Amino acid sequence: MQSSSAAPAHHAPGVPPVPTVAAHFASLDVQQHAARLGMWLFLATEILLFAGLFVCYANYRFMFPDGFAAASRHLDLTLGTINTLVLITSSFTAAMAVHYAKEAKNRQVVVMFILTILMALGFLVIKYFEYSHKIHVGQLPGPYFTDPEPSLQVAGVPMYFTIYFLSTGLHGFHVIIGMIVLAWVGFKANRNEFSARNYTAVELGSMYWHLVDLVWIFLFPMLYLI
Amino acid sequence: MSAIANESFKEAQNMQEEHHGGAAKYAIIWAALMVLTVVTVVTGRMHLPNWGLALALVIASVKGALVALYFMHLADHRGANRIVFITSMVFVVLMLLFTLFDIGTRFRPALAASGTPIAWPVQTGQSMPYSTTGTNEAPERRSHE
């Protein structure tokens, strides 16, 4: 039942290694099932982490609907839309990486993850331009809000920017973590590690990236489209 | 083989017929997500008065469901994975609804049966350093520079 625990680094090039099954799992399938379930549990905690900010948003928007609408008009919808399309496309390439990993096409897995990471980088660059503009005109959280723009002198506007920076900042942090995770799994793919028997790391890494996309799918209409 | 391992075998068999539609399915989902993004931007630009937010949230939920079901393979999986995801969603909705109920109803029971707040949000003097448009009697205890 137990397979040999050969370290992945020692296998011959071009031959995917036999995945290690830990002693407490009956089979490789069960081990992979447990890994996936563990990832879902972790993603559930991530969803609830972001949900806290969604609840803040909902409550303050209920209290200050006019302020939130006024502040939302000052976000760059074009940049936000481009970022949404970039992130959805990067999610697609991450899904394709899983598809190729199942077929043991490690070369394509590497290509797909490089594309995903490049798009993640593009997302962050666009986010940097949005942030630097906001900082430049003083559309900042709470007491740091200094924008003299007349249409922004409405109750709730500084609160909107507090939530804007907290939620997009936390999301951006997840983008960076996701890039690191995908780069790590990409290195493993570069060592030809994945095959139909063992693609757990690709699948779970991609799941993390899809969660980042999932969160943005909700942040985008909340922040940009009200 | 121990009892635990046998249990695990049963699980392994339950998820055996987990299969993958392949690249075409991902491409279709990707195209659908792109189209839905354009739709939500176009409808969001119109600033629909009453149900604009509801429509945006419905579109976002459809997009989220597509990502979770097909990109994250929830459509292929059985049992525990789905339960974990659905449970987390249920708790998000509970957290959202109950805090909104609280905010939405907090001061109303304190009013006389015929009384309605003149302005909403009601000025409490507690945590709202902004002057609202209405004329509530509550004194402003805190001014914010």
CB contact under 8 A, A29 and B56: no
pLDDT score, position B127: 45
On whether the CB atoms of residues A198 and A16 are closer than 8 A, the answer is yes
CA A65 to chain centre: 29
The Cα-based distances of A162 to A58, B22, B54, B66, B123 in angstroms read: 13, 42, 23, 30, 21
Cβ contacts of A88 within 8 Å, gap of 6 or more: A213, A217, B30, B33, B34, B37
B53 touching chain A per CB within 8 A: yes
- CA-based nearest residue in chain A for residue B70: A95
Nearest Cβ partner for A26 among B9, B33, B71 = B9
Query: What are the Cα distances from residue B3, in Å, to A1, B15, B16, B85?
Result: 15, 19, 20, 28
Name the residue among B22, B26, B80 with its Cβ closest to that of A92. Answer: B26
Give the alpha-carbon dihedral of A19, A202, B83, A59, to 10 degrees: 150
* Cα A201 to Cα A188: distance, rounded to the nearest angstrom: 9
Cβ–Cβ below 8 Å for A59 and B34 = no
Which pair of tokens denotes residue B69? 């079901």
pLDDT in tens, A176-220: 999 999 999 999 999 988 988 889 999 999 999 999 999 999 999
- B45-100 pLDDT, tens digit per residue, is 887 777 888 899 999 999 999 999 999 988 888 788 899 999 999 999 999 999 98
For residue A37, the chain B residues in CB contact (below 8 A) are: 80-81, 84
The answer to whether B34 faces chain A, any CB pair under 8 Å, is: yes
Helix (H, G, I), strand (E, B) or coil at A198: strand
Whether the full predicted model's pTM is greater than 0.90, yes or no, is no
What is this model's ipTM?
Answer: 0.86
Q: Mean per-residue pLDDT for A102-119?
A: 95
Task: Point out the least confidently predicted range of A60-64, B30-34, B122-126.
Answer: B122-126
Q: Which domains does chain A have, with CATH numbers?
A: 28-225 (1.20.120.80)
Using the beta-carbon criterion (under 8 Å), do A95 and B89 form an inter-chain contact? no
Cα atoms found within 13 Å of the Cα of residue A221, Cβ hemisphere only = 27
Helices (H), chain A: 28-63, 65-72, 77-102, 106-137, 157-190, 200-224
Question: Cβ separation of B26 and A44 shorter than 8 Å?
Answer: no
Contacts of residue A63 in chain B, CB cutoff 8 Å? 103, 121, 128
* pLDDT(B138) > 80: no
In this structure, of A121-135, A152-166, B5-19, B22-36, the range with the lowest mean pLDDT score is B5-19
The predicted pLDDT at position A44 comes to: 95
Q: Is B59 on the interface with A (CB under 8 A)?
A: yes
Mean pLDDT of chain A: 90
Q: For residue A16, what pLDDT is reported? A: 60
A169/A150 Cα distance (integer angstroms) = 26
In this prediction, residues A10-33 reach a mean pLDDT of: 75
CA-to-CA separations, B89 to A46, A141, A166, B52, in angstroms, rounded: 11, 29, 21, 22
